[in-house]
């Protein structure tokens, strides 16, 4: 549930460098596109898609994208640059942080509106800490404590409905110590009982805050989770 922002931004710089190397080195496949098999064409197309996903964090304007395209073209043709692009890795990360922050700020209003709407839904409870809890299926038995180890299935979405994570898709529930995750989960899952299912709408201060997480969760993002509590056990028992 926790991702390193620095590792993610380093990955952006590495992906940009790999793209340059792919284009500047020996051709991956035959030079004549007519000789490429369908699978080879798909592989090359996938490279473009991968690079585009890495560039999406920068939210480039048309003019900025042309500068990036020029860099790709020059690397591909073997043209020497007037400076060493490798020394700009730190600036690439700095720009990524700046653009992510700007993109996140644009979504703050939508997040607040989503949270307020969720709080007005029938059966929803807005907690003192600020997240919205909605019971979808009532469980049975005792509720876990913050220092317990829980096993859950979950699905996480952005306020626009786009899914960013799902244990259901991975085909395996997640087990973790409840106080080792975002605050919204630590508090919200303690309100559940085994066999229960609930929706947690988490404001940024109880989720990933001003750093965000991964490519999709921007700084300041409000998140929605559907969580199914399968079981829990004492962390003390877990250690034995």
Q: What are 178-229's pLDDT values in tens digits?
A: 999 999 999 999 999 999 999 999 999 999 998 899 888 999 999 999 999 9
What is the CATH classification number for the domain harbouring 199? 3.10.50.40
Taking the CA atoms of 154, 160, 164 and 168 in sequence, report the sign of the dihedral they define: positive
Determine whether 133 is an active site residue. Answer: no
- Domain end point (choices 95, 121, 154): 95
Q: Which of 114, 131, 225, 232 is catalytic?
A: 225
Choosing from 164, 176, 179, 230, which is the catalytic residue? 164
Q: Residues of the chain with pLDDT > 70: what percent? A: 84
d(CA 106, CA 218): 10
Q: Do the domain assignments include residue 100? A: no
On whether both 198 and 132 belong to a single domain, the answer is: yes
Do 146 and 84 lie in one domain? The reply is: no
Catalytic hit among 58, 131, 133, 154: 154
Pairing of strands 197-202, 223-234: antiparallel
For residue 27, pLDDT over 70 is answered with no
pLDDT at 33: 60
**Does the annotation count 65 as an active-site position?**
no
Are both 31 and 143 inside the same structural domain?
no
23 within some domain: yes
Q: Are 144 and 232 in contact (CB under 8 A)?
A: yes
Question: Is the model's pLDDT at 9 over the cut of 70?
Answer: no
Is 230 a known active-site residue? no
Q: Does a structural domain hold residue 101?
A: no
pLDDT at 4 (0 to 100): 43
Q: Would you call 29 a catalytic residue per the annotation?
A: no
pLDDT value at residue 31: 54
Task: Dump pLDDT digits (tens) for 38-91.
Answer: 898 888 889 888 888 778 778 888 998 899 888 888 888 888 888 888 888 899
Among the three residues 44, 75, 95, which one is the final residue of a domain in this structure? 95
Q: Does residue 41 fall inside a structural domain? A: yes
- Do residue 76 and residue 184 come from a single domain? no
Selection from 133, 138, 123 nearest residue 201 by Cα: 133
Of 92, 133, 182, 217, catalytic: 182
Confidence check: pLDDT of 146 > 70: yes
pLDDT at residue 240 in the model = 44
For residues 56 and 158, state if they share a domain.
no
The 3-state secondary structure of 73-105 reads HHHHHCCCCCCCHHHHHHHHHHHHHHHHHHHHH
* Residue labelled with tokens 């990955």: 11
147 within a domain of the structure (yes/no)? yes
Residue tagged active-site, from 165, 176, 217, 237: 165
pLDDT at position 53, please? 79
pTM of the predicted protein model:
0.72
What's the burial of 38, exposed, middle or buried (CB within 10 Å: 0-12/13-18/19+)?
A: exposed
| Last residue in a domain, options 95, 126, 143 | 95
| Contact (Cβ atoms closer than 8 angstroms) between residue 226 and residue 167 | no
Statement to judge: residues 30 and 63 lie in one domain: yes
Instruction: Report the pLDDT averaged over residues 122-148.
Output: 97
Q: Are 72 and 20 in contact (CB under 8 A)?
A: yes
Predicted confidence band of residue 30 (pLDDT cuts 50, 70, 90): low
Report residue 201 as tokens.
Answer: 């709408």
Question: Looking at the structure, do residues 58 and 161 belong to the same domain, yes or no?
Answer: no
Residue 128 forms part of a structural domain: yes
Element holding 177 (H helix, E strand): strand 174-177
Q: How confident is the model at residue 24 (pLDDT cuts 50, 70, 90)?
A: very low
179 is known as an active-site residue: no
Cβ(9)–Cβ(96) under 8 Å?
yes
Structural domain of 71? 5-95
> What rounded mean pLDDT belongs to the chain?
85
Q: Give exposure, 126-147, as e/b (b: 16+ Cβ within 10 Å).
A: eeeebbbbbbeeebeeeebeee
Token digits of residue 17: 């460098």
Look at residue 23 and tell me whether its pLDDT is greater than 50. no
Total structural domains within the chain: 2
Residues 127 and 223 in one domain: yes
For residues 129 and 212, membership in a common domain is answered with: yes
Instruction: Please report, for the chain, how many H helices and E strands are present, in that order.
Output: 7, 7
Q: What is the number of residues in the chain?
A: 240
């Amino acid at each position: 549930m926790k991702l390193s922002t620095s590792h993610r931004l380093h990955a952006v710089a590495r992906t940009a460098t790999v793209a340059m190397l792919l284009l500047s080195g020996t051709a991956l496949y035959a030079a004549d596109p007519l000789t490429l098999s369908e699978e080879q064409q798909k592989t090359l197309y996938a490279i473009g898609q991968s690079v585009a996903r890495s560039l999406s964090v920068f939210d480039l304007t048309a003019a900025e994208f042309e500068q990036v395209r020029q860099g790709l073209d020059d690397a591909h043709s073997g043209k020497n640059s007037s400076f060493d692009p490798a020394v700009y890795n730190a600036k690439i990360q700095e720009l990524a942080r700046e653009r992510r922050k700007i993109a996140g700020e644009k979504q703050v209003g939508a997040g607040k509106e989503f949270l307020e709407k969720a709080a007005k839904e029938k059966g929803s409870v807005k907690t003192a800490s600020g997240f919205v809890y909605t019971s979808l299926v009532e469980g049975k038995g005792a509720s876990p404590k913050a220092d317990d180890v829980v096993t859950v299935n979950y699905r996480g979405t952005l306020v626009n409905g786009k899914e960013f994570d799902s244990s259901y898709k991975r085909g395996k529930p997640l087990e973790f110590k409840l106080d080792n995750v975002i605050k919204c989960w630590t508090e919200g899952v303690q309100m559940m009982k085994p066999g229960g299912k609930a929706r947690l709408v988490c404001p940024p201060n109880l989720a990933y805050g001003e750093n965000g997480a991964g490519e999709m969760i921007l700084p300041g993002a409000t998140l929605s989770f559907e969580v199914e509590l399968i079981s829990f056990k004492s962390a003390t028992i877990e250690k034995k």
